Amino acid sequence: MTSPTPFDTEIERNRRQAARGSVNAMYDLAMGLRDRYRHTGDPADLSEGIARLRTALGYVPDHPIRHALRVGLSSLLHDHFLHFGDVSTLHEALAGCDESIPMLDTENRLVATMMRGETLILLAEHARDPAYAAQAVDSASRLPRGPAAQYVLGKALYVRYELTHDHAALVDAARVLEESVLATPVDDPNYALRLNQLGDVLQRSAEHTGDESVREAAVRHLRDAMARTPSASPALLDHKVDLAAALRDRGRKTGDIASLREGVALLREVLEVTRPDGRLWANRCENYLIAVQDLVAQTGETDVLDQAVEFGGSTRGGGGTPGMIPLLLGLLHNERFLHTRLERDLGQAIAAYTEVVETVPYGERTHAVALGNLGRAWFSEYEFRGDSEALGRSVTALGSAARASAPATTERGETQLNHGGVLYAQYELTRDPAVLAAAGRALREAAETEALQPMARAKSARAWAHTEAEAGRWDRARDAYAYAVALLPLVAPRRLARVDQQRVLAELDGLAADAAASAVQANDPDTAVRLLELGRGVLGGQVLQSRSDLSRLHAVAPELAERLGAAFDRLPPAGHLMGAAADERHDQDVRLRHLLDEARALPGFADFLAPPDLDELLESAADGPVVLINVSGYRSDALIVRPSGVTVVELPGVTPESVAGQAATFGAALAESARPGAGETDAQATVAEVLGWLWDFVTEPVLERLGHTSAYSDGWPRVWWSPVGQLALLPVHAAGRFPDGASVLDRVVSSYTPTLRALRHAKTRHTREDHDFVVVAVGDAAGARPLRGVEREASRIAALTRATRLEGAEATADSVRAALTSHTSAHFACHAASDPDDPSAGHLLLHDGPLSVLDVSALDLSGVRLAVLSACETFLGARRVPDESLHLVSAFQLAGYPQVVGTLWQINDLVARTVAVDLHEGLSAGQDVATALHHAVHRCRGRFDKTPTLWAAYLHSGR
């Protein structure tokens, strides 16, 4: 039994009067049935309403009321077409409007003229005929200005854009529809429909221009329209499809996985209530397949891909945009091939693309997209089989697709990115300089296409730079790499969840190193330092920027400074958000960038909150040299940064391959050394060999250039190490020939810094000399082995420092956060763990659970001085994004601590207590933190000189 509706009573009353032959009642009954159909989606009401109007027309062949009846019939015929797809009903509706308009009074003529415009719009969409769109625009333009008429005109302009790609029509459509929405009361039944149409047009405009603020406005409007639409309304499903498209575009352009997932979920909801044999199934399935392909391209989740292939396979030949379903199936098969390497999928992708290319006319967007994807698939075949003919076909297809794509569009940019890649592959076979130059031109065009997603632009710029390096044009390579590095803030914007930021930055791992190496090759070490600074620690740099002093701006533009500070406060590092909360974060990030642009437009503020210039970076090394150790396939160097300038020390024995090999060897030896048995001695020997390699090839050449050529007993010099890439996973500070040879530990007091900006920021936070400690000790955490020495460690340290103690059940996450705000320094004696897949999930294990890297990074503490993390792996970053320094040590530095003591691997409980107590005794004696730790580790090495894993893990970071 169907649920009652607000229309039932009136429909039954008119049905009784119509049975007595009343033409007016027949009209009112038909309109009531139309409204109930729009409420429930039951086509029986629609069919009955059309039949009633046909009967009424038969009663009045010559009466003036006939013309109103014809217009009403046209309205129902519209709905009939939208439900069943019978185009003959549109032609009947158009003929009815043309017949009736001249005979109607002013008010009814307006309604009929709008109906005529709506009919022409539907015909234009169905026939893909710009002539119908032009007629619709002309017809709607003649209407008196009003919200309903503006709505029709806006839709007509939008269809014209879709068929002609005339951007002016799209701009006009957005303007006219906005006028319509603003003039419509929010309680008007048509408000949600008009708002959704505006959102849809803004979404398309954002796709065309890449304007993020427009995209976020589209998402807001579409979500609002969906929320205002009754759950039983058939329009709700269309609104969900439109919102899903906007979320897909957001996810595609920004890397926001949550938006992609929400879009896929919305489209699954729509498909679950859409009849597979209905006219709307194909179009909705197309949207679903596109959304799934984008999600899988980012996540590699082939289970959802398998489901989508099944949906698409059952839809082939079922309407929709010509060639679109085969094209999308090709994309899905190609995506699955990329993840599974199943040859069958590659063949199915090529067959699907070929079908579209052969059946869709040249000049259609679908044809160009299919041609470009066919070129990509042939390149996959070349890579898979080594077939040079497939490579040639790929080059030809992608070149044709590029020529068929409109300049400055997403499609053109994506095609040129792929075209440049296959041209470079052809160059590798032929060594033809002309082919290399063509590859560079294609890649440069893609990099400079602003409508293309930032990640694709950065990859294009990186590949373009490599073509310049391959040609030996190092000045051009440096500039192209600089272009790529400058895109990194757009690649990982603040709005993304931290895990998504990590994922996208991992795809560009090594970019900063290659950029710096190209600058050194161009005899420009200053730019090398600058590029390393911009290309590493991107996520930490966002936090540092948000915590910069706004007082200079506040003195000139206090209201702007307040808004900027509030925007920063709303964008701390975060996890995934959904729905309106995600919309707010995306929108806030766009607003923040606009506020920064506004501030930088003020006189004297062009560099406001921008990364520091070279002089400021050099000044970061005022307390001692900072050694940036850069490792690249082009060349490897140590860049010694001092206030006087940059000194280059070549490291010819260091390559990405040698560093990766040493890191793998070191990691395996660490694991073996933790297992008691016969292999432990050999593992320690292997660790010592890696430390010897670090000394021979990395640190000894640097210390020699610095003049530190002998051991010290007093007046130790300071050096800050900042290794790049995988080298950050190795203990540079512990390098040496052990047990009896030279070592870093005998020559200098070592500290680390992830970037020069971080060191500079630490200096500004270094406000107090006293140590008002809170000691956090958790020896028996749930799910972890007991740490039997932490209570003794806490007692000894508390006795030395008169510290506040939080132990056992007192050491909860909330109590620890509160204590950090009221003490200048903190000492943690507890379990800690790193997470190689999600480094921001690395954590200290407190009594009631973890305190993660993300949690600590979100803190903003003032007046703090030192954090000692006497726990395992607190300085261990992730292999996928080593340059981001995502670990507990950096998190505490971002929270405000200018100095942090941490560890690179798992540490022995007894040794941890010994080193910690020794450190605090040194602090009590007046030593600075780095020196106190240096001597504590030095003494520990003396006790365990043949067991480097026991003492080499400890390090100092900051100033």
SS (HEC) of 535-563: HCCHHHHHHHHHCCCCHHHHHHCHHHHHH
Task: Answer for the pair 184, 175: CB distance below 8 angstroms, yes or no.
Answer: no
Distance separating alpha carbons of residues 956 and 592, to the nearest angstrom? 34
Query: Tell me, what's the pLDDT at 221?
Result: 97
**Nearest CA to 249 among 280, 295, 310?**
295
Coil, helix or strand at residue 593: helix
**Nearest CA to 310 among 293, 327, 340, 289?**
289
Distance separating alpha carbons of residues 28 and 417, to the nearest angstrom? 59
pLDDT tens-digit map of 248-302: 999 988 899 999 999 999 999 999 998 887 778 888 999 999 999 999 988 888 8
Residues 6+ apart with CB under 8 A from 415: 368, 372, 398, 401, 402, 405
Q: Give me the phi and psi of 866, to 5 degrees please.
A: -145, 135
Distance separating alpha carbons of residues 521 and 469, to the nearest angstrom? 9
Q: In the numeric block, which tokens belong to residue 396?
A: 């030809």
The 8-class DSSP code of residue 695 comes to: I
The amino acid occupying position 278 is G
Query: Tell me, what's the pLDDT at 106?
Result: 84
The amino acid occupying position 439 is A
For 854-907, give the secondary structure using H, E and C: HHHHCCCCCCCCEEEEECCCCCCCCCCCHHHCCCHHHHHHHHCCCEEEEECCCC
Distance separating alpha carbons of residues 71 and 48, to the nearest angstrom? 17
The amino acid occupying position 485 is V
CA angle 788, 792, 796 (to 5 degrees): 155
pLDDT along the chain (959 residues), means of 10: 83 94 94 89 92 94 89 92 89 92 87 90 91 93 90 95 90 96 95 96 88 93 96 90 95 92 96 84 90 91 85 66 88 91 93 94 89 96 93 96 91 96 97 98 97 94 98 98 96 93 94 98 98 95 90 94 94 89 92 94 93 92 97 98 98 96 95 85 95 98 96 88 95 92 95 94 69 90 86 90 90 95 95 90 94 93 94 88 93 95 93 95 94 96 93 95
Query: Tell me, what's the pLDDT at 199?
Result: 97
**Nearest CA to 418 among 389, 380, 361, 363?**
380
Tell whether the torsion through CA atoms of 237, 238, 241 and 246 is positive or negative.
Answer: negative
For 177-214, give the secondary structure using H, E and C: HHHHHHCCCCCCCCHHHHHHHHHHHHHHHHHHHCCHHH
Query: Tell me, what's the pLDDT at 1?
Result: 46
Query: Tell me, what's the pLDDT at 320?
Result: 65
Cα diameter, the chain: 115
Coil, helix or strand at residue 754: coil
CA angle 174, 179, 181 (to 5 degrees): 95
The owner of tokens 């406060």 is: 569
Query: Tell me, what's the pLDDT at 2?
Result: 66
